[in-house]
Amino acid sequence: MTSVDRTTLGGDPFAATGNPRTELLEAAEAALAWFDRFDAHAPSDMHFGGEGRVRRQLRGAIRRSRLEADTLAWADAADTDEAAALDEERTLMGRNLTERERAAFLGGFRERRAEMRG
């Protein structure tokens, strides 16, 4: 779990309610990063056994979760303009947007579009 104060996530609709899927993905990424930091500082003979298997499971779960998010990335877009804007943002970032980023981006996109129309 990250130490982010969820009240600072403003426009993020998942911040108030919490999204278990997103939280699990963040926890898996944090655990994998912890393994990397541990390996960087631990003596070379300090192994408990099973770390490789756990790392593989974490990497696989993270990869599958991101691929699933990519497949579903445009499912919450209400129209082709939103889908195109999401695709453009993904290209600019050079990676898939997380659920939180996608929701925040769509929220901002919809607000800006409403202001332009209003």
Q: Is residue 91 in a domain?
A: yes
Q: Are residues 112 and 89 in the same domain?
A: yes
Q: Is residue 6 in a domain?
A: no
Q: Are residues 113 and 81 in the same domain?
A: yes
Q: Say which residue, 114 or 8, is predicted with more confidence.
A: 114
Q: What is the pLDDT of residues 7-42, one digit of tens each?
A: 444 444 444 446 677 788 888 889 989 988 888 888
- pTM metric for this prediction: 0.45
Residue 59 lies in domain: 16-72
Q: Please check whether residue 73 is in contact with residue 96, taking contact to mean a CB–CB distance below 8 angstroms.
A: yes
Q: Are residues 59 and 88 in the same domain?
A: no
Q: Is residue 108 in a domain?
A: yes
Q: What is the pLDDT of residues 78-106, one digit of tens each?
A: 677 887 788 788 888 888 788 888 889 98
Q: Please check whether residue 66 is in contact with residue 39, taking contact to mean a CB–CB distance below 8 angstroms.
A: no
Q: Is residue 10 in a domain?
A: no
Read off the DSSP letter of residue 55: H
